[in-house]
């Protein structure tokens, strides 16, 4: 049996899903977390599948989430709908509930966040609310696992008995009369299409083209329906959508006033914090300071100390295994594979696990507290200047964690144009897979300012994304940018369970990659660096097959100061997984975890290290991210354009960084600023010209 889990964003729907199924899905106080449906088995009921559908606010198919949810309800015909609502925002939540009730599918409403209701001094009269809505209600607090057992039992009971809503006519007035008039015309067609006649009539009153097509209405029927809608609009002196929305909210107001006692304890903390954190001038500086704190904790003294401890431990383990293998008289080739290949490659990546864990821990805390939603709100006006909707900030922020889910999250953007532009920008957000590369190089060449160097790389990626966005904005119609509608959830103390689960997801994903993809790449690189073209074992990687391959492409990187053949070979391995770049350098150099620093110091100069970092920052993301981009683009043409553009942009950016680093002085800094101003001047002038033109049109 199928349970369709539906609710608004930030209603706690995904937390309910995890509690009911034991699934470790991502949970966050952040819009857009659930991009596509997820499935899991209901606890204690192996014959029940819970489907977690995207968070939506209505069943009007304006966004991809709404289309996915509505199509699932109509086509898959679930046995029961479990509607999770935020009781602290019950007026808004019930708008979706009314539309779901109209579908006449067995339904249970979970009144979530009852603990917060009690804290605010509010109270729900369950009997009266149940009487008004005509569906079973279960009060719960998902974050505390309160009422989940009762919710599971009630959901199973309603699904097995097929108990449908007790009443569908929840509204009144002219709009209500128009719906009944349409029902009398289309009842037979709705039944044939497998739809509730009430739901079909409501959607026809909204002039919904998908329902019109599904009912296969004749021209005379469409004309009659149009006349009914026109009469309703004339009587109410408003358009059809506003009339239906007003009808629903009149019912909601009456229901809430009769069944909800609201206390005086408003969420003053949220209001006070928002005055500061969403302030017109203070919001962005505060965001920058918080991000600086996150990076200092992750890449500064705390993260570096933990990373050093793990590096020492890995070095000790490697030396012990090396000694044991040497004593056992193991074959030289196998000895080299284990020590110089697997341990050196995987160990060099694992040593950066503390940095990544701390980064995700800090970001998870900010996400779970509700702050990241404010960042999206604050950044909306800035995103508009790039010609895309403010909603794009959500996948862009996710890009700092991993490009794959960030690219997949673009499907929540309502317009194809916004999705395409955002996918082009996401790779410039430094994903966590690049952290081992940044950390290894920065700790060697900027030991006293490693954290600052990594922050500058992140800022450079953002700056380049802005330049690209402004450039693409000139070549597309920015007026097509979709409106940005999002909810600012109340601030909440981060849940230790939620943050811990989210952190474990990221760490386990990193470990999985380290012992699968990176291990495989490490073994391949070891093989290429240990055998020559005749497949004879070599004792110097300079005579290896990889040296020959690296020498072929080395001239391309020579203008960047990267003349060592091992560097381009390592960059090639980065196409599989970015973490593999450092492990590849370690394997090809025969370095252990402890000797990796001196090896890198001999391989790079300070200017070439700067060029290498910039190239890694910009060049094409891993194969998984490219595949995700291909799936979202829907074609290979845009994907190849993205790959070619990033390879070219990476080379140019690294070349400029190398030349500046060679001439590092006050004059070079001034020259850089002048170049940046010259690059931005046409954009600024173009923007001002468009602004003046728009003001003329307004006048």
Provide the pLDDT confidence category of residue 136 given band limits of 50, 70 and 90.
very high
Q: Do residues 69 and 56 make contact, with C-beta atoms less than 8 angstroms apart?
A: yes
CA atoms of 666 and 38, how far apart (whole Å): 55
- Average of pLDDT values for 126-145? 89
Residues 590-634: tens digit of each pLDDT:
766 567 778 888 888 888 888 999 999 988 887 777 877 887 787
User: What are the E-state strand segments in 69-147?
Assistant: 80-86, 107-112, 123-124, 137-139
The overall average pLDDT reported for the chain is 79
Provide the pLDDT for residue 27: 47
**Would the pLDDT of 445 be above 90?**
no
Provide the pLDDT confidence category of residue 31 given band limits of 50, 70 and 90.
very low
Provide the pLDDT confidence category of residue 679 given band limits of 50, 70 and 90.
low
Alpha-carbon torsion (444, 445, 451, 454), positive or negative: negative
Residues 41-90: tens digit of each pLDDT:
898 888 999 988 888 888 876 666 677 788 888 888 899 999 999 888 88
- Average of pLDDT values for 562-585? 79
Q: Do residues 156 and 48 make contact, with C-beta atoms less than 8 angstroms apart?
A: yes
Which of 8, 6, 277, 262 is closest to 116 using CA atoms? Answer: 262
Lowest mean pLDDT among 235-244, 288-297, 397-406: 397-406
Provide the pLDDT confidence category of residue 390 given band limits of 50, 70 and 90.
low
In this prediction, what percent of the chain has a pLDDT beyond 70?
85
Question: Which CATH fold topology does 174-261 show?
Answer: Helix Hairpins (1.10.287)
Provide the pLDDT confidence category of residue 168 given band limits of 50, 70 and 90.
confident
Q: Which residues have C-beta within 8 Å of that of residue 21, sequence separation ≥ 6?
A: 40, 41, 42, 43, 50
Provide the pLDDT for residue 674: 56
- Average of pLDDT values for 236-262? 87
CATH 3.40.50.300 is held by the domain 2-161 = yes
Provide the pLDDT for residue 2: 92
Q: Which residues have C-beta within 8 Å of that of residue 25, sequence separation ≥ 6?
A: 14, 17, 18, 38, 40, 52
Strands 137-139 and 107-112 turn out to be parallel
Which of 645, 92, 68, 55 is closest to 394 using CA atoms? Answer: 55
| Distances from the Cα of 523 to the Cα of 445, 547, 589, angstroms | 28, 16, 14
Provide the pLDDT for residue 28: 45
Lowest mean pLDDT among 154-163, 227-236, 266-275, 529-538: 266-275
Provide the pLDDT for residue 30: 37
Residue with tokens 């990687």: 541
List, in sequence order, every residue forming a beta bridge with 86; answer none if it has no partner. Answer: 112
Q: 454 — phi, psi (to 5°)?
A: -70, -40
Residues 140-159: tens digit of each pLDDT:
998 888 899 999 999 999 99
Furthest-apart CA pair in the chain: how many Å?
95
């Amino acid at each position: 049996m199928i349970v369709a889990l539906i609710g608004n964003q930030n209603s706690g729907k995904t937390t309910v899903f995890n509690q009911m199924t034991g699934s470790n899905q991502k949970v966050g106080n952040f819009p857009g977390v659930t991009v596509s449906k997820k499935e899991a088995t209901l606890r204690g009921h192996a014959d029940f599948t819970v489907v977690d559908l995207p968070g939506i606010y209505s069943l009007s198919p304006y966004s991809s989430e709404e289309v996915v949810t509505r199509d699932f309800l109509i086509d898959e015909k679930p046995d029961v709908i479990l509607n999770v609502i935020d009781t602290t925002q019950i007026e808004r939540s019930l708008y979706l509930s009314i539309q779901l009730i109209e579908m006449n599918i067995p339904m249970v409403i979970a009144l979530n966040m009852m603990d917060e209701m009690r804290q605010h001094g509010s109270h729900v009269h369950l009997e009266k609310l149940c009487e008004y809505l005509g569906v079973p209600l279960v009060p719960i607090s998902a974050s505390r696992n309160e009422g989940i057992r009762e919710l599971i039992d009630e959901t199973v009971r309603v699904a097995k008995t097929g108990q449908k809503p007790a009443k569908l006519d929840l509204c009144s007035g002219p709009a209500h009369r128009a719906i009944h008039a349409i029902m009398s015309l289309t009842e037979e067609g709705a039944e044939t299409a497998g739809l509730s006649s009430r739901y079909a009539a409501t959607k026809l009153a909204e002039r919904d083209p998908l329902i019109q097509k599904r009912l296969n209405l004749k021209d005379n029927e469409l004309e009659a329906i149009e006349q009914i809608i026109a009469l309703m609009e004339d009587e109410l002196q408003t358009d059809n959508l506003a009339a239906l929305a007003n009808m629903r909210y009149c019912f909601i107001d009456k229901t809430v006033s009769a069944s909800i006692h609201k206390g005086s304890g408003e969420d003053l903390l949220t209001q006070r914090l928002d005055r500061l954190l969403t302030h017109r001038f203070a919001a962005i500086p505060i965001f920058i300071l918080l991000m600086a704190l996150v990076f200092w904790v992750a890449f500064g003294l705390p993260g570096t100390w933990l990373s050093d401890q793990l590096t020492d431990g890995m070095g000790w383990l490697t030396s012990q295994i090396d000694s044991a293998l040497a004593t056992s008289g193991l074959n030289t080739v196998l000895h080299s594979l284990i020590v110089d290949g697997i341990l050196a490659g995987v160990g060099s990546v694992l040593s950066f696990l503390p940095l990544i864990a701390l980064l995700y821990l800090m970001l998870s805390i900010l996400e779970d507290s509700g702050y990241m939603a404010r960042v999206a709100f604050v950044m909306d006006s800035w995103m508009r200047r790039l010609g895309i909707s403010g909603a794009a900030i959500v996948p862009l922020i996710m890009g700092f964690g991993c490009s794959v889910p960030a690219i997949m999250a673009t499907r929540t953007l309502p317009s194809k144009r916004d999705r395409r532009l955002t996918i082009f920008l996401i790779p410039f957000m430094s994903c966590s897979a690049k952290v081992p590369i940044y950390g290894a190089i920065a700790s060697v060449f900027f030991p006293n300012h490693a954290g600052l160097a990594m922050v500058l790389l992140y800022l450079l990626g953002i700056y380049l994304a802005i330049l690209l966005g402004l450039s693409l904005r000139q070549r597309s119609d920015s007026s097509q940018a979709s409106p940005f509608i999002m909810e600012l959830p109340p601030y909440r103390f981060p849940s230790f369970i939620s943050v811990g689960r989210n952190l474990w997801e990221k760490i386990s994903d990193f470990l999985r990659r380290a012992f699968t993809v990176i291990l495989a790449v490490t073994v391949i690189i070891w093989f290429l660096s240990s055998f020559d073209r005749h497949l004879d074992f070599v004792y110097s990687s300079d005579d290896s097959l990889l040296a020959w391959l690296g020498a072929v492409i080395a001239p391309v990187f020579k203008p960047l100061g990267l003349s060592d053949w091992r560097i381009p070979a390592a960059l090639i391995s980065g196409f599989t997984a970015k973490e593999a770049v450092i492990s590849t350098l370690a394997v090809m150099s025969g370095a252990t975890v402890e000797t990796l620093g001196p090896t890198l110091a001999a391989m790079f100069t300070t200017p070439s290290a700067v060029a290498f970092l910039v190239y890694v920052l910009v060049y094409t993301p891993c194969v998984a991210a490219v595949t995700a981009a291909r799936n979202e683009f829907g074609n290979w043409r845009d994907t190849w354009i993205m790959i070619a553009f990033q390879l070219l942009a990476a080379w140019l950016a690294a070349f400029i960084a190398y030349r500046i680093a060679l001439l590092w002085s006050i004059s070079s800094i001034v020259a850089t600023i002048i170049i940046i101003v010259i690059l931005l001047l046409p954009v600024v002038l173009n923007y001002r010209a468009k602004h003046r033109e728009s003001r003329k049109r307004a006048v």
